[in-house]
Amino acid sequence: MTEGLGREFCLVCGADPPLYGDRMCESCLRKRINLVQVPENIPWVRCARCGIVEIQGKWVHISEEEIWDELIQRHVHFHEKAEDIGLALESRTISDRHTMLHLQVEGKIENLSFQEEHKMRARMANGVCLTCTRRAGNYFEATVQLRSTGRRLSEEEFTTLRSTLDTVIESLSDDPMFFITSEGPVTGGYDVVLGSKGLARTWGRHLVTTYGGHVAESNSTVGRKDGIDVTRLTLLYRKPGYDIGDVLRWRDNFWRVASWSKDGAIMSRIDRQERTGATWRDLESSNVVAQMKDHVIVDIINEDSSVAEFLDPTNWNMAAVRIAWDHTPRQKLRLARIDGEWLALHKLGCDDENEGKSV
Ligand SMILES: [Zn+2]
Ligand SMILES: [Zn+2]
């Protein structure tokens, strides 16, 4: 209020108070300001290959509603004095690329209520995201080689191993480089070529934690870019093909895997009482000769202090075998068939509790 001018009036039309803002009456104010400024057209980019959306330079997986919210946040500008803002949105698809967004907004400016309706056209443009660009260029940083020790894995076992990669990718953040460039079976294994070294290493750790064994890592330099060596990573994972109780040929003797240790297994020798620790690497030279599931349990017909006779389940003829070092009389025999010969196995904690009792 300025002394000396007598009374207040609207600077535009001369109307009496109440006055608002820059000394205008309500109707002059309403003619001059809007609650929101809404652009007519707003562009946005979707990857033409995989459908993900670019939001402020980042490619993200978001729903259509989230796209509209994002566009409104960035492009609809409320009056700086707006308060108690409310916004309702209705979207109408016009064509493949065009969507009309109808906005109903309400709010207060200097305690005057405003209600406005606006529309803006969201125009989709096709782009290609980083992942798709790199995929199309067969980009890769790492190869993971799935192999085994002790025995060849079945196709099913490789399928199970490979499927853990999907689990790992799902559990990680939306990194555009977490993609598979190519994959497929190779002699004795399965290879997966990946867009990210980090993904390869994470998967390698997951495999070791889940299945034991270890990962051997090697790097090769494939060139230079911007003064920095470009390297490729190869991870060789060998899944132990043996399990607790299996019979292995290792260091010229037969052993059973007694238990797992921190970095390998405790091995229990079959022809005499001996236990030793072996690392995963030590066991790379081992061969599985009889898995637990292939062992047979038989009753003894006759026995003396060193040999037991039993009915050979493959032909029902009488056969003889040297008894194991821990054998107790009348105990059943656990047998493994190795190179056409029967071998009596000593007992391990993993063997069936009841099998020792002859019926
Ligand atoms: Zn006025
Ligand atoms: Zn894409």
Q: Kindly give the distance from the C-alpha atom of residue 34 to the centroid of ligand 1, in angstroms, as a whole number.
A: 16
| 28 and 39, same domain (yes or no) | no
Q: Kindly give the distance from the C-alpha atom of residue 31 to the centroid of ligand 1, in angstroms, as a whole number.
A: 9
Distance CA 183, CA 194 (A): 9
Q: Kindly give the distance from the C-alpha atom of residue 52 to the centroid of ligand 2, in angstroms, as a whole number.
A: 6
- Which pLDDT belongs to residue 3? 47
| 252 and 161, same domain (yes or no) | no
| 258 and 349, same domain (yes or no) | yes
Whose atoms come closest to the Cα of 8: which ligand?
1
| 252 and 233, same domain (yes or no) | no
Contacts of 8-11 spanning 24+ positions with Cβ under 8 A: none
- Which pLDDT belongs to residue 310? 96
Q: Kindly give the distance from the C-alpha atom of residue 116 to the centroid of ligand 1, in angstroms, as a whole number.
A: 20
Distance CA 124, CA 48 (A): 10
- Which pLDDT belongs to residue 359? 41
| 45 and 28, same domain (yes or no) | no
Q: Kindly give the distance from the C-alpha atom of residue 133 to the centroid of ligand 2, in angstroms, as a whole number.
A: 7
Whose atoms come closest to the Cα of 22: which ligand?
1
Can you tell me whether residue 117 is helix, strand or coil? strand
Single out the residue in 130, 157, 187 at which a domain terminates: 130
| 272 and 215, same domain (yes or no) | no
Rg (CA), the chain: 38
Q: Residue 60 corresponds to which amino acid?
A: V
Whose atoms come closest to the Cα of 126: which ligand?
2
Q: Kindly give the distance from the C-alpha atom of residue 85 to the centroid of ligand 1, in angstroms, as a whole number.
A: 25
pTM of the model: 0.65
| 231 and 251, same domain (yes or no) | no
Phi, psi of 84 (to 5 degrees): 50, 50
Q: Kindly give the distance from the C-alpha atom of residue 22 to the centroid of ligand 1, in angstroms, as a whole number.
A: 11
| 142 and 231, same domain (yes or no) | yes
- Which pLDDT belongs to residue 138? 83
Q: Kindly give the distance from the C-alpha atom of residue 86 to the centroid of ligand 1, in angstroms, as a whole number.
A: 27
Q: Kindly give the distance from the C-alpha atom of residue 10 to the centroid of ligand 2, in angstroms, as a whole number.
A: 57
| Number of domains composing the chain | 4
Pairing of strands 253-261, 264-269: antiparallel
- Which pLDDT belongs to residue 5? 57
In order along its 359 residues, the chain shows pLDDT tens digits of: 444 456 889 999 999 999 988 889 999 999 999 999 999 999 999 999 889 999 888 888 899 999 999 999 999 999 999 999 999 999 999 999 999 999 999 999 989 999 999 999 999 999 998 888 888 888 889 999 999 999 999 999 999 999 999 999 999 877 778 889 899 999 999 999 999 999 999 999 999 999 989 899 999 988 888 887 788 999 999 999 999 999 999 999 999 999 999 889 999 999 999 999 999 999 999 999 999 999 999 999 999 999 999 999 989 999 999 999 999 998 899 999 999 999 999 999 888 765 644 44
Domain that holds residue 319: 247-356
Distance CA 105, CA 50 (A): 34
Longest Cα–Cα distance of the chain, Å, equals 131
Single out the residue in 108, 130, 152 at which a domain terminates: 130
| 272 and 333, same domain (yes or no) | yes
Record the tokens describing residue 132, joined without a space. 């798709």
Record the tokens describing residue 119, joined without a space. 């529309």
